[in-house]
A = this chain, B = another copy of it.
Amino acid sequence: MDARGIEILEATEDIYGGVEVDMKEKKMDSNSFATLLRASMQLWKQQGKKGVWLKLPIELSYLVDVAKKEGFVYHHAEETYIMMVYWIPKTPSTLPANASHQVGIGAFVINDEGEMLVVQEKQGKFGGTGLWKMPTGVVKEGEDICDGAVREVKEETGIDAEFVEFLAFRQNHKVLFSKSDLFFVCKLKPLSSTITKQDTEIENAKWMKIEEYMEQPFVKDSESFGSVAEICNMAARTDGAYSGFIANPKTKKRSGAKSYLYCNKIR
């Protein structure tokens, strides 16, 4: 209820002058919701609120159309919910954009004998091409990139490894619908040697001399593969011809969360 005795939607305020409505575990028919939403919007407009966030669980998918009719647009969605939003002021919206990137890793796992861990993939762009490539994968929600590299190597090949450094990274656009991709080439040190390959995605996995990897026509002829291979080749040398960004011990932020700062080793 608001001060006028009119029932409104339960909402929390954010630090940017906005309100957030989470409809989780609330059941409501379309008509009741429309009435409540209209009364709530009227109040929030009077109060000079800015952004109104409306989170609808997929169980309430029949309310999406109601909110759209009231002027809400989509902001983002995950499997189980959609976030809709309404920007009240006449000035341009300062609402944060949706996530724009996925983050991928390529794992350059090199042993003391100058052999790197390579796989042949069953599916996707390289499926059936015979190309031996480094294990690659996508970093999971909430996962540190260096941990993602270690996990992917373990999943695809059964090899235990530890993160050493980021050798390079590349940004590609329009990789996933309209989204971009940040691909980090990570050097890892293997802690085991016996390969147990994953069956659904990986056709073959083995240790291969880095020279042999580089001699593959696909690697030699591709600007983007070739330049990464050159860097890996230098990073494999024992004379320290190339090294990249290391993961410094996690430091604490004001929020209490801890995170890695990645940068060159400071001498």
Residues of A within 8 A of B (CB): 15-16, 58, 61-62, 64-65, 68, 73-83, 91, 94, 96-103, 123-124, 138-142, 144-145, 167-174, 176-180, 182, 200-201, 222-224, 227-228, 231, 234, 242-245, 248, 251-254, 257, 259-264, 266
Contacts and interface: CB of A to CB of B under 8 A. Distances in A.
Nearest to A167: B263
B264 A264 contact: yes
A253 to B, nearest CB: 5
Contacts of A262: 168-171
Number of this chain's copies in the assembly equals 2
Given A76-B76, A77-B82, A170-B261, 13 more contacts: A15-B124, A62-B65, A76-B78, A78-B178, A83-B177, A97-B138, A97-B141, A99-B180, A168-B262, A170-B260, A223-B251, A223-B252, A231-B266
Nearest to A226: B251
A66 to B, nearest CB: 9
A87 B35 CA distance: 36
Contact of A101 (B167, B182, B222, B263): B182
A86 to B, nearest CB: 12
Contacts of A58: 68, 73-74
Contact of A75 (B79, B102, B139, B251): B79
Given A78-B98, A103-B100, A180 B263 contact: no
26 contacts: A16-B123, A58-B68, A58-B73, A61-B64, A61-B65, A74-B81, A75-B77, A77-B82, A94-B123, A94-B201, A97-B102, A100-B101, A101-B102, A141-B178, A141-B180, A142-B173, A142-B180, A170-B261, A172-B257, A222-B254, A223-B251, A223-B253, A224-B261, A228-B261, A242-B264, A242-B266
Contact of A172 (B15, B168, B243, B259): B259
A50 to B, nearest CB: 10
A82 B227 CA distance: 38
A230 B176 CA distance: 37
